[in-house]
Chains A and B, each alone.
Chain A
């Protein structure tokens, strides 16, 4: 039977576009660092040039993201309270330590590259690798804790955020490594293709499990698969941001133009995904 909502109060969305940008930039920073540390730990000395680019990019991408987070606060100047008070049950309380320790590591790592002492950074690369993974994972975990929001409260969300952080980080490093050796950028784009493939599988799993359920889950699926959110999620993220880069990278990885196009598509797709998850997740009223 139909019913009409005569009156209700819906308070404004708590998380805005600045949070979307923060998630995007912190993911980029973590992904870029993972690329740098990954090249150091698994690639070796010959990738030193790309590694340096990635190492310098990581803190520079992360810092404006953190700035967005502080500006978004109702009381920006009180952000230090995050360090003075600790709540073990709050994901954000852990996250602020994880992301700031990571920032310190990333700055030190970049500094060592700038002064040309890259050879001695191996232990720092190990440590930073772990913290970068934690940063990529934590933003999704932050959303997961909000159990009133069906789109966020899924075990796949932290994994999707981590994998897309790695993908976008690889993409930005690939974009910045134009002058690097063609063989090396080819390897980078191969890794990018694999990560994008994993991201695609995860995203499809998430959206299909929502679409094939009933009630509120199906309602959430309808929100992110139709209208403006649908265009961003299916068109920009799934097709332009994942399927297209995967197709072009699978066919032709050596061409610089193909690499640039794929990298840009991945970046735009990741941003669109973050937007749809954060804003679309809040689209349905809670009460």
Chain B
């Protein structure tokens, strides 16, 4: 397996290198190294399936989630998501009475379903599934009819207040296309979010999905979500319930 450059920030600094301005080179290089140390630009594992069709997916290992909401913040910042609406958030439920109590987390985002109800319902084909499985929206074609919002059984979509068109999580397709993982995955403190190519048997997501006891949200609807949860709790999955 051919190793790719360790991080994209390093690549950036290489591009900006100018022989006569050594101090700047040094500065960029140091910043790059710091960023690399912080894990700022985790790259997608290089794929042996480069010629095969990719299928991007995410695994969220809830045993590692501490409910810090860093993913929600990173998403807001990366994608300029307006106030009041969220592409990604962490649902939290508290169950039991002290001392027998526990908080359960469920990081949420678009499920990038294999059988997306939103794509089926869109009257203008503005929302579509890319070949690699990412569900996107042609913003210039969307009429804001909101039918995809009601079609989605996961409440993942919203009307962007400033644009009048529908918006949602895109798996950070602008980052993924550059070979970098989505912002939420990149920032996750407990490394609970793992992103990769499900069709590449050597990728971490493919291994986890194959080996771990995974669950998806509302599997009974047949939408085949491509966001998989490990150790998903019944109290947070699905509709809000006052008791289980």
Known: A74-B145, A79-B143, A287-B238. A7 touches B221 (CB 8 A): no
Return chain B residues, CB-CB under 8 Å to A216: 239
Question: Contact size class for B?
Answer: 35 or more
Query: At the interface, yes or no: A149 with Cβ under 8 Å from chain B?
Result: yes
Residue of B86, B123, B235, B244 contacting most chain A CB atoms (<10 Å): B123
Task: Tell me if A's interface is mostly helix, strand, loop or mixed.
Answer: loop
Indicate if the CB atoms of A14 and B150 lie closer than 8 Å: yes
Given A11-B158, A74-B164, residue A82 in contact with residue B123 (CB < 8 A): yes
Is there a chain A Cβ closer than 8 Å to B96's Cβ?
A: yes
Q: Is B36 an interface residue (CB 8 A)?
A: no
CB-based nearest A residue for B100: A1
Complex Cα distance, B121 from A146, in Å, reads 8
Contacts of A146 in B (CB 8 A): 117, 121, 147, 150-151
- The interface stretch among B8-16, B87-95, B192-200 is B87-95
Q: Does B20 contact A (CB under 8 A)?
A: no
Contact between chains at A145 and B151 (CB < 8 Å): yes
Q: A96 → chain B, closest Cβ, in Å?
A: 6
Q: Is the CB of A149 within 8 A of B150?
A: yes
Complex Cα gap A147–B220 (Å): 11
Most buried by A among B108, B122, B145, B158: B145
B89 touches A9 (CB 8 A): yes
Complexed CA–CA distance, A216 and B241 (Å)? 10
A 165-205 contacts with B by CB, 8 A = none
Among A3, A15, A81, which residue has its beta carbon within 8 angstroms of that of B243?
A3
| Chain A, 1-42, CB within 8 A of any chain B CB | 1-12, 14-15
CB nearest neighbor in B for A82: B123
Listed in ascending order, the chain B residues whose CB lies under 8 Å from chain A are 85-86, 89-96, 103, 108, 117, 119-126, 141-147, 149-155, 157-159, 163-166, 217-218, 221, 235, 238-244
B151 touches A96 (CB 8 A): no
Tell me which residues across on chain B come within 8 A of A92, comparing CB atoms.
Answer: 121, 123, 145, 147
- Cα distance A44–B107 in the bound complex, in angstroms: 65
- Inter-chain CA distance A73–B218, complex, in Å, is 29
Whether the Cβ atoms of B149 and A11 lie closer than 8 Å is yes
Since A11-B86, A89-B119 are in contact, a sample of 5 more A-B pairs with Cβ atoms closer than 8 Å, ordered by chain A residue number, is A2-B243, A6-B92, A14-B146, A78-B142, A85-B123
Query: Which residues of the partner chain B approach A87 to less than 8 Å between Cβ atoms?
Result: 120, 122-125
Q: SS class of chain B's interface: helix, strand, loop or mixed? A: loop
Q: How far, in angstroms, from A284 to B144 measured CA to CA in the complex?
A: 23
Contact partner of B244 (CB less than 8 A), chosen from A3, A79, A285, is A3
Task: Tell me which residues from 40 to 87 in chain A have a Cβ below 8 Å from any Cβ of chain B.
Answer: 72-75, 78-79, 81-82, 84-87
Q: Is A270 an interface residue (CB 8 A)?
A: no
Contact check, B93 vs A74: say whether CB atoms are below 8 A apart. Answer: no
Identify B94's interface contact among A3, A8, A74, CB under 8 A: A3
A148 within 8 A of B: yes
The CA-CA distance from A284 to B240 in the complex, in Å, is 9
In Å, the complex CA distance between A95 and B123 comes to 9
- Interface presence of A286 (CB below 8 A): yes
Query: Contact: B91 with A7, CB < 8 Å?
Result: yes
Task: From A2, A149, A287, give the contact of B240 (CB < 8 A).
Answer: A287
Residue of A at shortest CB range from B163?
A: A74
CB-CB nearest in chain A for B151: A146
- A287 and B243 contact, CB distance less than 8 A: no
> With the chains together, A72 CA to B144 CA distance in Å?
8
Q: A74-B144, A285-B155, A286-B153 are in contact. Are A85 and B89 (CB under 8 A)?
A: no
A90 in the interface (beta carbon within 8 A): yes
Question: Quick check: A15 and B221 within 8 Å, CB to CB?
Answer: no
Q: Which of B85, B120, B143, B242 contacts A11 (CB 8 A)?
A: B85
| Residue A259 lies at the interface, judged by CB distance under 8 Å to chain B | no
Interface pair B144/A1, CB less than 8 Å apart: no
Question: How far is B165's CA from A282's CA once the two chains are assembled, in angstroms?
Answer: 20
Contact between chains at A3 and B95 (CB < 8 Å): yes
Q: Which residue of B lies closest to A83 (CB)?
A: B124
A5 and B91 CA atoms in complex are apart in Å by 8
Contact B147 A90 (CB under 8 A): yes
Residue from B93, B108, B239 whose CB has the most chain A CB atoms within 10 Å: B239
